[in-house]
Amino acid sequence: MNSFRLKIVSPDGCLFEGDAELLTLRTTQGEVTILANHTEYLASIGMGRATVVTEAGRRTAACIGGMLMAAGNRVDVVATTFEWKEDLDADRAMAALKEAEEQLAAGGLDETRRKIVESKKRRAEVRLSVVRAE
Amino acid sequence: MAGVSTKAIKARMRSMESTRQITKAMELVAASKLRGAQMRALNNRTYFGTLFEVMDMISRSSIDFRSPFLTPGKGARPLYIVIAGDRGMAGGYNNNIFRFVMATLTEDALIFPLGKKTAEYFRRSKWECVSDSIPVADLTVGSCFSIARMICDWFLEGRFSSVTIAYTELVSLLTQTPKQTGLLPLTFEAAEPEGRHRTQFLYEGGDVHVFENIVPEYMAGVIYCAVKEAFASEQAARRTAMDAASKNADEMISKLNLDYNRARQAAITQEITEIVAGSEK
């Protein structure tokens, strides 16, 4: 299968650099799949599961926020959070989800604080969905 | 008289020793924090490098849409995000960045202070701050994103004319230089000569939509990287300063030790002289 050059970075450093055959992830507009020789393309990343298929196999990750650029058979993913499934901690995500839910249920948070807690909750949900998927 | 003097010297030596203990401890703490901070700053550079490349590609593509992020804000006053430390005892670290910023600051500038010392400094010198002090040490990726989004929203509301960020760059463990960069409005280099092919990007969900989502992300990336650089610089500056302080203390102690021995010897000599003088009578 044709491959393209893929680079994935997040503030934690470089998480992937090499040839890939397929990349699927969730943009703010919905799920997209990128194959080799994609046209010049730009998208902002939403929250969801990302899948990378290379010669070595298939890997999934939780990918939240950032941007995706395809140009000249090269794809750059600049993500806010990008964590491979094997690096995710289900218990920690579960605890974070529970804590966020409790905080939201208790109420009494101001506007900004509530937004922060809500996005924490959504992040935990994304992580859990990635860990629990087959 | 000699007795009093040895006692006084001894007391000074003791106080010097405890000062040295403190500076040494601070140096060690800074050194251990520095290791982690430096690694994070380096990881961040990879991220920032790619982020910057992407922004550069966009800037060189044909932009045939309008975005408020590309034109000066409707507000009259510029905003400066200034990053310094939460604590002193880091040599010239805090003062260097303040002096650097003051050199370009206009009268009507607004300050977004990051770090307790920054807020203290600008409050004292009567600049208007748009937020309370935010400790640098607890800034996570998430909070940088919230800050970036907030600043972008304010910019769109027309509170500022421009946004600039000032921080200290970690050049090496011994050198840190203050630096500042303009963030908003985004300034792209002048268009390349006509006739050259410009990349035409396909934007998922419309160019304006993507662009306006990307700008806060980019801002957050820059702020986060600047915070990490600044934090590593602070630790490096503190380590150097405390190392110098410990060395000074060592020097002082050995000088006092010499003085002490001299005074003690003088006292003994005097006593012997007195005894001898007494027995001769």
Count H helices, E strands: chain A?
Answer: 2, 8
Residues of chain A in contact with residue B214, where contact means CB-CB under 8 angstroms, are 42, 44, 67
Specify whether A76 is located in the same domain as A102: no
**How many domains are contained in chain A?**
2
Give the mean pLDDT of B144-159: 88
State the nearest Cα–Cα gap between B138 and chain A, in angstroms: 15
Specify whether A13 is located in the same domain as A54: yes
Backbone phi, psi, residue B185, to 5° = -65, 150
CB B237 within 8 Å of CB B176? yes
CB B22 within 8 Å of CB B245? no
Specify whether A37 is located in the same domain as A73: yes
Query: In this predicted model, what pLDDT tens digit does every residue of B121-143 receive, in sequence order?
Result: 988 888 888 887 788 887 888 78
Share of chain B above pLDDT 70, in %: 94
ipTM of this model? 0.79
DSSP B132-172: --B-GGG--HHHHHHHHHHHHHHHHHT--SEEEEEEEEE-S
Nearest Cα residue in chain A from B51: A78
Select the residue of A11, A71, A120 nearest B141 (Cβ to Cβ).
Answer: A11
Q: How many CB pairs under 8 A join A and B?
A: 95
The reported pLDDT for the residue numbered B2 is: 47
Q: Which domain holds residue A118?
A: 88-132
CB A7 within 8 Å of CB A75? yes
The reported pLDDT for the residue numbered B55 is: 84
Select the residue of B200, B209, B225 nearest A40 (Cβ to Cβ).
Answer: B200
**Interatomic CA distance for residues B62 and B78, integer angstroms:** 28
Specify whether A8 is located in the same domain as A73: yes
> Which residue(s) pair with B90 in the sheet?
B92
Rg (CA), chain A: 16
Could you tell me the CATH number of the domain that includes residue A79? Answer: 2.60.15.10
pLDDT in tens, chain A (134 residues): 789 999 999 888 889 999 999 999 999 888 999 998 998 888 989 888 899 999 988 999 999 888 899 988 999 999 988 999 888 888 888 888 898 888 888 877 777 677 778 888 888 888 988 888 76
Specify whether A62 is located in the same domain as A94: no
Select the residue of B47, B58, B210 nearest A13 (Cβ to Cβ).
Answer: B47
Specify whether A24 is located in the same domain as A53: yes
Contacts 24+ apart (CB under 8 A), A124-128: A124/A93, A124/A94, A124/A96, A124/A97, A124/A100, A125/A97, A126/A47, A126/A48, A126/A49, A126/A62, A126/A64, A127/A62, A127/A83, A127/A88, A127/A93, A127/A96, A128/A90, A128/A93, A128/A94, A128/A97
The reported pLDDT for the residue numbered B276 is: 93
Specify whether A70 is located in the same domain as A99: no
Select the residue of A40, A66, A76 nearest B202 (Cβ to Cβ).
Answer: A40
Instruction: Return the ∠ at Cα A83 (arms to A82 and A85), rounded to 5°.
Output: 140
Nearest Cα residue in chain A from B56: A69
Specify whether A125 is located in the same domain as A78: no
CB contact under 8 Å between A42 and B210, yes or no, is yes
Query: In this predicted model, what pLDDT tens digit does every residue of B184-204 receive, in sequence order?
Result: 888 765 555 554 556 778 888
Query: In this predicted model, what pLDDT tens digit does every residue of B17-73 receive, in sequence order?
Result: 999 999 999 999 999 999 999 988 888 888 888 888 888 888 777 777 778 888 888
Specify whether A64 is located in the same domain as A128: no
Chain A interface mutation, best of B52, B62, B204, B227, highest count of A Cβ atoms under 10 Å: B204
Specify whether A46 is located in the same domain as A107: no
B3 pLDDT more than 60: no
The reported pLDDT for the residue numbered A122 is: 87
Specify whether A56 is located in the same domain as A18: yes
**Interatomic CA distance for residues A29 and B149, integer angstroms:** 20
Contacts of A8 by beta carbon, 8 Å cutoff, 6+ apart:
A14, A15, A16, A17, A52, A77, A79, A82
Taking all residues of chain B, what is their mean pLDDT, rounded to a whole number?
Answer: 86
> Which residue(s) pair with A52 in the sheet?
A23, A59
Classify residue B87 by burial, with Cβ atoms within 10 Å: 0-12, 13-18, 19+: middle
Specify whether A35 is located in the same domain as A80: yes
Which of B280, B236, B269, B201 is CA-nearest to residue B90? B236
Domains contained in chain B, CATH given = 2-23+242-280 (1.10.287.80), 41-240 (3.40.1380.10)
B242 pLDDT band (50/70/90 cuts)?
Answer: very high
Establish whether the linkage from the previous residue to B113 is cis, with ω within 30° of 0. Answer: no
**How many Cβ atoms sit within 10 Å of the Cβ of residue A73?**
12
Share of chain A above pLDDT 90, in %: 28
Contacts of B89 by beta carbon, 8 Å cutoff, 6+ apart:
B26, B238, B241, B242
The reported pLDDT for the residue numbered B196 is: 52
Asked if A118 is an interface residue toward chain B (Cβ–Cβ < 8 A), one would say no
Asked if B140 is an interface residue toward chain A (Cβ–Cβ < 8 A), one would say no
The reported pLDDT for the residue numbered B275 is: 93
